[in-house]
Amino acid sequence: MILKHKATTKKKLRRKKKNLKKICQKLYKLINVIKINKINKSNSYIRETILVQIKKNQKSSKKIKKISKIFQIKIIYSNDIKYIIEISEDYKKIKKFLKKIKKIKEISEISRSGKISVFKN
């Protein structure tokens, strides 16, 4: 039984490597790819950017000022009707920020970039 289990896991691993190789080959065909590297926290900076549009009133203004003390947010647009704020952080801080910001009921729109990264070296 143990030998069969090891054999099946080796087959699954080979299949995964083969699928990964196929994906890389397809990427090279689709766009001008120079090099594909494995990215992790130790060898790169990984960030995500979020834009949030919030209707402006006294209640939302107070909450945004309170949240801005906790997180490094930028108010990139403001008028009498709305705020547009931006935050660019790692995934965990974005998650915490979203928990805090969702309590504000005046949110009109949230737009996320997804993870982006660059190598440290």
Structure confidence by residue, pLDDT tens digits, 29-88: 776 767 777 788 888 888 999 999 988 888 888 888 888 888 888 889 989 889 899 999
The pLDDT, as a whole number, for residue 86 is: 93
Structure tokens that stand for 100 in this block:
């805090």
SS3 content of the chain, % helix, strand, coil (to 5): 45, 30, 25
Among the residue ranges 3-12, 27-36, 65-74, 104-113, the one predicted with the least confidence is: 3-12
Rounded (10°) CA dihedral 28, 31, 36, 40:
-140
Q: Do 108 and 56 contact (CB within 8 A), yes or no?
A: no
Closest CA to 41 of 86, 87, 91, 88: 91
Angle between helices 91-101 and 58-70 (to 10 degrees): 160
Q: Tell me the three-class secondary structure of 47-104, residue by residue.
A: EEEEEEEEECCHHHHHHHHHHHHHCCEEEEEECCCEEEEEEEECHHHHHHHHHHHCCC
